Amino acid sequence: MRKLLPYLLLGLFTLWIVSALRTPKSKGYTDDVSFGQLPVLREGRLQPLDSVGMNALIQIRGTRKVPLEGNNEKGEWGAFLKIRGEGSGQLSERRWYQFGKRPKKLNASEWLMEVMMHPEIADERYIFAVNHPDLLDELGLDDQGVEKSGLFYFTFHEISEHFPTIRRHAQSAFNQEAALRTPFEKAVIKVWVGLNTYMEFKNTIAPQDSHDFNNDLEIYLSSIAPGLEAWRSQNAGTEHDETALDLFSGYMDRFQHLSSAGTLLIPPSKDSGTSDQWSTMGTNLIQAIQTMGVRPAVRSYAKMASAFHGDNSGNFNQAASQYKESLKPDFGTELKRTSLEFSYNKFSPFYKSTVIYLIAFLFACSTWFNGSEWTRKTAFYLIVLSAIVHTGGLITRMYIEGRPPRHKPLQLCCFCWMGSGAVRSRH
């Protein structure tokens, strides 16, 4: 029986790998898959919205998902929004001994949808990590937030109350050379950068105070002509429609914030050419003064925003799917690449290869102590499987980003292959 164990374990982990290669599907009513696959330009690279959300979550929270359930101070389990409303004191995520609990979590696409299209809900999610004890004391965050293994996470609503204090400390920290910054200063900068990223996302698709952006868009477009006429009349010193001017000016002020977003949502028209002509929602909305219209992508995102904020999953799914289909004729290659990156994010090859390698390492250690042949074979087969997954992940990453891999993943991959040789050669 022991002779078969290496092959059974190899088959088990191979099955785990293969099952994770299935095409991702939405688990809820809202089609987060279609939304997460939509291509955007951010930080000079074309990527899916899922990667935008995932990288932001890692930067702000240090995790890829946002837990929605946990414990109150009495150890009672429930949704954070509910048990927090009951005044239950310090909340906590799942404890290490709560094996039977499987908390609901938001993935990166779902979280980004909330931030961009329903920020009132996103503001109540525990995503901001504040763990330096002096910073916690400075902000007076005792008995607030969610705790997990000594780490603390807070909502935007809790953190934003201390915005002036965080800004003051961050400005002081930025004046210090990076190599000389204290742990406190580094913690402040992390929170400050996270807050700015979060507030940028809240004003990327629609103004954060918009509850029906599709309707706002129609009103704005209809206000351009009378608003411009009133503005010209005002400059000429003649009688003008003050109501039309105020309506038009109000929308212009709100859309200015969207222009500074770092995520370029709107693709170029098919006859304009290169990827550097991707633009923000705000830029397109302001350019409507000249064109008297907006690109189809603007209307698609407006429909998605209104449907999501109105909890109309049917309309949201239809708008997301139609927009994705509309991109295929002119941006089919880009859409395939971002869809591949979306699947890559869900598969997480480096995480899976690390898990397998650690288990293989345990079997290798066992071999060194007892000299068992079946543990040696198991370690060898698992290291090879881990190296294959890791190598495949590196190659896919190179294709997605169009550049060589970073040093650490490449070094770890080489180490896996060398480790397999070492285990194989030991008899």
pLDDT at 262: 85
The residue ranges of DSSP E strands in 21-92, in sequence order, are: 39-42, 45-48, 66-67, 69-71, 77-79, 91-92
Q: Of 30, 35, 116, 119, give the one whose Cα is nearest residue 313.
A: 30
Any bridge partners for residue 263, and if so which?
42
* pLDDT tens digits for range 308-351: 999 999 999 999 999 999 999 989 999 999 999 999 999 999 99
* Domains of the chain by residue range: 5-20+348-425, 32-202, 213-311
Of the ranges 6-15, 32-41, 408-417, which one carries the lowest mean pLDDT score? Answer: 408-417
Token output for 289: 């003064």
C-alpha to C-alpha distance for 308 and 318, rounded to whole angstroms: 11
DSSP string covering 110-142? HHHHHHHH-HHHHTTS--EE---HHHHHHHT-T
Length of the chain as a residue count: 427
* pLDDT tens digits for range 15-39: 999 998 888 888 788 999 999 999 9
Q: What angle do CA 323, 327, 333 make, to 5 degrees?
A: 145
- Residue type (1 letter), 127: I
Average of per-residue pLDDT values in the chain: 87
Mean pLDDT of the region 165-184: 92
